Structure 1
């Protein structure tokens, strides 16, 4: 093995070792991690997501939810709608929401991230 090959292998091994222990994604949101003062939806309860609404169901708006899933390195896969949906559901549970309506998605590359998937919607609680 030539010294050039050894140097290339050493660089590759160092790069892999440096990124192996790193988290792949970061989630940001307008919702704090504190539980809601209102009774929260049980963590096992299903939180529904809709890009429009739920015709025929009455609900009270709780407020907006914004999440952003960002990949931290160029080597990781782009964030997906499924990851953004999971983040929306977790934040909706903190608010005691039954659903998130009017969900919108946006993806791209930002100044501080190699790729992102943003999701925005309105948290609601169903009424009788």
Structure 2
């Protein structure tokens, strides 16, 4: 009985320590720090005065897979938003909202959503 208990504890600890530190909802591994150099503007503002046309609503999620890693950052979420916006030929992701917490399958997450748009920024 004691061997089964010890094995269970080791298994649980081992699973908690394995895997990549961060993962997107598509399963991509993300580095802990991202240097976001992109032509895509990520903003919480509405930019209603910039003659914007919304292409599509986009959302992303960055997950922390183990308890020992830092919490997901806005920079990581912004990086994923900009990647989705590039695929849609947008130059702005506006009305961005962030939410975070702890889930059933993750030690922490940061969700971000916004409107991928084409705006006249001149």
Q: Specify if TM > 0.5.
A: yes
- What count of residue pairs does the alignment treat as equivalent? 98
Query: Any unmatched runs of 5+ in structure 2?
Result: 1-9, 27-36
Aligned position for 1:49: 42
1:50-65, aligned counterparts within 5 Å?
50-65=43-58
TM-fit CA distance, 1:59: 1.6
Q: State the match for 2:4 in structure 1.
A: none
Q: Provide the aligned C-alpha RMSD in A.
A: 2.2
Provide Cα deviations, 1:66-124, integer angstroms capped at 9, x if missing partner.
00000111111110111111111111111111100100000110111100000000000
Ranges of 4+ aligned residues in structure 1 off by more than 4 Å: none
| TM-score, scaled relative to structure 2 | 0.71
Aligned to 1:28: 25
Compare CA radii of gyration and give the structure with the larger one: 1
TM-score of the superposed pair, with normalisation by structure 1: 0.68
Match of 1:41 in 2: none
Distance 2:116 2:65 in 1: 28
Using the TM superposition, give the Cα deviation of residue 56 of structure 1 relative to its aligned residue in structure 2, in angstroms. 3.0
Which SS does the other structure have where 2:50 is aligned? coil
Structure 1 unaligned runs (5+)?
1-10, 30-43
Distance 1:114 1:123 in 2: 29
Per the alignment, residue 79 of structure 1 pairs with 72
